[in-house]
Structure 1
Amino acid sequence: MTSTTPIRAIVTGHTRGLGAALAEQLLARDIAVLGLSRSRNAALHARFPALLKEIELELADPARVAQLIATDALREFASGAQTVLLINNAGMVQPIGPIEGQDAAAIASAVSLNVATPLMLASALAAATTGASDRRIVHISSGAARHAYAGWSIYCATKAALDHHARAVALDANRALRICSLAPGVIDTNMQAEIRSSGAEQFPMRDKFEDLKRNGQLVTPDQCAAQLLDYALSDAFGQTPVADIREINKPV
């Protein structure tokens, strides 16, 4: 993809962690970004006032997301772009713990944020950008989508839903739309800190994640964002609907 191609990107959860790193690196590449999050990224907006547009949105509330979709916000942002990239990054790992201890409201929030919102935005983007010659959707998935973990039944299920959504959408054979549910590896973010703070009775594999942190085996958000964007903007993107960034970047 050449640098002269007009590209616009939509990133959910752009105020911290991987989402903030993705938004910053897109902007640094002179790509306009629409950030969707509960709050705004003031520091990033101060650096890129002309390129960053933000909409405060409770992404775990499908009714609020539907209200946004009903407006012309996505269509207006994408207008004139040849390539439109949607990165469904926002997500939550809670509730952690055995099934009998999971709070019903927490389950509903997780399913809304991790599944309903990405699927709603993917559909809305496809409908609002029919004039773009190249539309790309990235679901931020997880190894938990492909391997079951005790205490993570909700997180595993919701990430697996994104994987299967990408597989099914790919069967639509819309050549102007590429999609991939992409596992980014284990990243040093607030979510990892949240996982390490859970009790062993809630998440029996907690020690493994503590060891990853202790041994410096966590990837930084900036490192992950660079790898992810290189792939998402490459010609290879979309050739497989489910992928792992660690496998893509393995030396041959």
Structure 2
Amino acid sequence: MTLPITRAIVTGHTKGLGAALAEQLLARNIDVLGLSRSRNDTLAQRFPQTLQQAALNLADLQIVTRWLASDALTRFVDGADSVLLFNNAGTVQPIGPIEGHDAAAIANAVTLNVTTPLMLSSAVAAAGVSACDRRIVHISSGAARNAYAGWSIYCATKAALDHHARAVSLDANRALRICSLAPGVVDTNMQAEIRSSGKERFPLREKFEDLKRNGQLVSPEQCAIQLIDFTLSEAFGQTPVADIREVAQRG
């Protein structure tokens, strides 16, 4: 009996949650294509046969467009029974009141947080045979559903992913499932970046300092396990927007 072949694309796979997702997927014998500005040498040494990597600046539209125009994605998914896409890469910058935002920083955030994930989603939806099961995971945030002072760009970009998932779920494509999934508060470099922000730029900084101080941050490894378990479950895609803390409790 031939086992189903599952392959996964993970953006931002070199650190934090992205690295944990790639590691957990590879440990489950799922081939991974990692997309990031740099390579994950540690995972490459551990999984030389099942990890592929492409060094891409995901905030550069020309680079992403050229890569999508190549056959790299098609070759990776060829022969797979199931393809997973984890749109994980993102940035919380620029932080602060709107009048202090640099135009280039805004463009960088929108490209990395929204444009590239949507481009990759469309490419994955079109890649492979129509019967291939495809599952798209946007790594969202509570900031998509609640407004925070100082995070206008981050809130807006994450909300865009949520609404994209809602609209895509209405498309008549039974082989495609999508969910914009909030992972909770994960102990990553982004959290350290948030805690280093001045209160004048991010008034809620103390809240995130307390979460770290009180041990209330989830490890990337623990979060990755929950995200992958849910993505591979039959429940995935039943609702286009979800919070892993809620669906994990139900499971």
Same fold (TM over 0.5): yes
**Does residue 229 of structure 2 align to residue 241 of structure 1?**
no
Unaligned residue ranges in structure 1 (runs of 5+): none
For the residue of structure 2 that corresponds to 1:54, the secondary structure is: strand
State the distance in 2 between where 1:77 and 1:132 align. Answer: 16
For the residue of structure 2 that corresponds to 1:137, the secondary structure is: strand
The amino acid across from 1:100 in the alignment is E
Percentage of matched positions with identical amino acids: 74
Q: CA deviation at 1:250?
A: 2.1
Matching residue of 2:203: 204
Matching residue of 2:142: 143
Instruction: Rate the CA distance shift 1:159–1:100 in 2: closer, same or farther, 3 A.
Output: same
The amino acid across from 1:188 in the alignment is D
State the distance in 2 between where 1:60 and 1:160 align. Answer: 18
Matching residue of 2:175: 176
State the distance in 1 between where 2:215 and 2:4 align. Answer: 38
Deviations 1:90-112 (A, max 9, x none): 00000000000011110000000
The amino acid across from 2:121 in the alignment is A
For the residue of structure 2 that corresponds to 1:20, the secondary structure is: helix
State the distance in 1 between where 2:23 and 2:94 align. Answer: 29
State the distance in 2 between where 1:20 and 1:118 align. Answer: 17
**Does residue 193 of structure 2 align to residue 194 of structure 1?**
yes
The amino acid across from 1:4 in the alignment is L
| Contact persistence 1:58–1:65 (CA under 8 A) | yes
The amino acid across from 2:58 in the alignment is L
**Does residue 86 of structure 2 align to residue 84 of structure 1?**
no
Q: CA deviation at 1:247?
A: 0.7
State the distance in 1 between where 2:67 and 2:161 align. Answer: 21
Q: CA deviation at 1:132?
A: 4.5
Instruction: Rate the CA distance shift 1:251–1:120 in 2: closer, same or farther, 3 A.
Output: closer
For the residue of structure 1 that corresponds to 2:93, the secondary structure is: coil
Q: CA deviation at 1:133?
A: 2.3
Q: CA deviation at 1:63?
A: 1.2
State the distance in 2 between where 1:233 and 1:5 align. Answer: 12
The amino acid across from 1:155 in the alignment is Y
Matching residue of 1:68: 67
How does 1:27-106 map onto structure 2 within 5 Å? 27-106=26-105
For the residue of structure 1 that corresponds to 2:181, the secondary structure is: strand
Point out 4+ residue stretches in structure 1 off by more than 3 angstroms. Answer: none
Normalised by the length of structure 1, the TM-score is 0.98
Structural RMSD (CA): 1.3
State the distance in 1 between where 2:71 and 2:249 align. Answer: 41
For the residue of structure 1 that corresponds to 2:215, the secondary structure is: coil
Unaligned residue ranges in structure 2 (runs of 5+): none
Tell me how many residue pairs correspond in the alignment: 251
Matching residue of 1:7: 6
Matching residue of 1:226: 225
Instruction: Rate the CA distance shift 1:146–1:211 in 2: closer, same or farther, 3 A.
Output: same
State the distance in 1 between where 2:50 and 2:6 align. Answer: 11
State the distance in 1 between where 2:128 and 2:164 align. Answer: 19
| Contact persistence 2:165–2:241 (CA under 8 A) | yes
State the distance in 2 between where 1:129 and 1:118 align. Answer: 18
The amino acid across from 1:212 in the alignment is L
| Contact persistence 1:81–1:132 (CA under 8 A) | no
The amino acid across from 1:29 in the alignment is R
| Contact persistence 2:230–2:248 (CA under 8 A) | no
For the residue of structure 1 that corresponds to 2:153, the secondary structure is: helix
Q: CA deviation at 1:51?
A: 0.1
Matching residue of 2:115: 116
State the distance in 2 between where 1:36 and 1:98 align. Answer: 31
